[in-house]
Amino acid sequence: MAEQDCEVLHTSAHASLRSAAPAAFIREELVAKIEHGTPAFVRTNCALFAAGFATFALLYCVQPLMPIFSSDFKVSAAGASLSLSLTTGLLSVSMLVAGVLSEAWGRKPVMAASLALSVVLAMISAFLPHWTTFLVARALMGVALSGLPAVAMAYVGEEMHPGSLGLAMGLYVGGTGLGGMAGRLLTGVITDAWDWRVAIMTMGVLGVVCVVLLWRFLPASRHFSARPLRFAPLFRTYATHLRDGVLPLLFAEGFLLMGGFVTVYNYVGYRLIAPPYSLSQTEIGLIFAVYLFGIVSSAWVGSLSGWLGRRNLLPVTLALMLAGSALTLASPLWVIVLGIAVLTVGFFGTHSVASAWVGARAQSGKAQASSLYLFAYYLGSSVVGSVGGVFWKLDKWPGVVGMTCALFVIAIAIALWLRRSSR
């Protein structure tokens, strides 16, 4: 999530703790929170940055490998996309309950166990000879990974001083973005030098280092007390949000924007690895460096939304995604890369605006509202990311772009409706 979204989410979560348990909150205030400029702040953010980096590197390292999976395992483009879609699909569902489990088991233990189990599954998957068993390992990784993003943001909201919360969340989000880019880029380079199994194993080794950093440097929670597992209140809050007049439409926006974005990234490698481009895995991986533009644009668009308003900015960022996707239909390679860059900037900006709108709209249960948004967001990656393979089979790249542009047009229509209704 974008930095400002996380700040809204966890400031509100902190406030709910104040109202639910005033005595505990007063005791909590007596313990100093982690502030910028202290050694504890440096250690904590090194640990969280490493955790975010490893999570998204492990998640997205298979994306540039899909054409190789099609060749090695004799599966279609849609079949190869399951290596990511199954992971994000189970991640989306598991995130709905991962935060609740951490309420009973503790923040740091859940985060460390989540990342460690994901690393083990990544390393095992590098040796699996059959496509079905490889997919099972990737699916289990989605369940394992869910514990870190869901809990890390809660930890930051509880343990950081309010004046340092934004910076801490920004550093964590920066780690996730850099991990997503590095997972794609390093995998391509290593695959060219050796093979894809070595690339995935390398991601696992990097994950081991990050697990050690997380366990060694992340302070134990000082503003959190374990509570019994309680699922009934959680699902009642979910039902309330789904009856809201605006929130379900924002969840739909998350589904559409992530689905279209991941689809382009999933299948552009199939186009560029074939003639007339015949790019290597390293060259395709380098194209994913445009992710850096998206990371920067997220914070910029977030601040811009405070001036122009979310309802005015959302159609604009979605239009950028539409334009970027359409640009990739051109033949010159530099125009394709430009289109991917414009799409990425629009994606990060749209995600920033939409997720912040969710936090602002929810009058209570903001954490649960954000969980539902992330559920739809990753579900879009899973469902649409695989369906894109069908369009690739039907009409190659024009089919993929036609599908994503249709999704973005629907998303723009929803945004325009929200703009009128929110007046």
Which of 186, 221, 256 is the last residue before a domain boundary?
A: 221
Q: What percent of the chain has pLDDT over 70?
A: 83
Residue 19 lies in a domain: no
Mark which of 164, 199, 221 sits at the end of a domain.
221
Q: Quote the number of domains for the chain.
A: 2
Q: Of the ranges 103-117, 237-251, 259-273, 285-299, which is most confident?
A: 259-273
Q: Identify the burial level of 6 via C-beta atoms within 10 angstroms of its C-beta, where 0-12 means exposed, 13-18 middle and 19 or more buried.
A: buried
Least confident of 1-10, 267-276, 391-400: 1-10
**pLDDT of amino acid 366:** 65
Residues 203 and 246 in one domain: no
Domain that holds residue 199: 32-221
Token readout for 363 is 């009058």
Q: Which residue has the higher pLDDT, 305 or 210?
A: 210
Report the alpha-carbon distance of residue 6 to residue 313 in Å, rounded: 19
User: Does 412 lie in the same domain as 290?
Assistant: yes
Q: Are residues 200 and 258 in the same domain?
A: no
Say what the pTM is. Answer: 0.78
Residue 293 lies in a domain: yes
Note whether residue 422 is domain-resident: yes
Does some domain include residue 10?
no
- 299 and 174, same structural domain? no
| 106 plus 44 within the same structural domain | yes
- In terms of average pLDDT, the best of 142-156, 276-290, 331-345 is 331-345
Q: Given this model, what pLDDT does residue 13 score?
A: 39
Is 23 inside a domain boundary? no
Position 169 scores a pLDDT of 62
Residues 361, 242 contacting (CB under 8 angstroms): no
pLDDT at 335: 96
First-to-last alpha carbon distance for the chain, in angstroms, is 26
Token representation of residue 244: 């809201």
pLDDT band at 422 (very low <50, low <70, confident <90, very high): low
Distance CA 404, CA 133 (A): 30
Residue 249 shares a structural domain with residue 372: yes
Interval 265-287 mean pLDDT: 89
| Same domain assignment for residues 279 and 391 | yes
Query: Do 370 and 253 lie in a common domain?
Result: yes
User: What is the tens place of the pLDDT at every residue in 209-245?
Assistant: 999 999 998 888 777 666 676 777 778 888 888 988 8
Domain boundary among 175, 201, 221: 221
Among 69-83, 148-162, 346-360, the minimum mean pLDDT is found in 148-162
Q: At which residue do the structure tokens 């009058």 appear?
A: 363
Q: Is residue 360 included in any domain, yes or no?
A: yes
Q: Which of 351, 379, 363 has the alpha carbon at shortest distance from 96? A: 379
Q: Categorize the per-residue pLDDT at 19 as very low, low, confident or very high, splitting at 50, 70 and 90.
A: very low
Residue 2 has pLDDT above 70, yes or no: no
Does some domain include residue 22? Answer: no
Q: Is the dihedral of CA 133, 54, 80, 74 positive or negative?
A: negative
Clarify whether residues 180 and 303 are in a common domain. no
Q: Is residue 205 located within the same domain as residue 303?
A: no
Residues 126 and 274 in one domain: no
Is residue 24 domain-resident? no
Q: Are 8 and 359 in contact (CB under 8 A)?
A: yes
- CA 183, CA 200: separation in Å to the nearest integer? 9
Query: Is residue 404 domain-shared with residue 358, that is, in the same domain?
Result: yes
Cβ pair 377, 92 in contact under 8 A? yes
Residue 422, both tokens: 């929110």
Of 247, 258, 244, nearest to 414 (Cα)?
A: 247
Residue 153 CA to residue 135 CA, distance in Å, equals 28
Over residues 388-396, mean pLDDT: 92
CATH number of the domain at 165, please: 1.20.1250.20
The pLDDT, as a whole number, for residue 3 is: 39
Among 34-43, 191-200, 228-237, 382-391, name the one with the lowest average pLDDT: 228-237
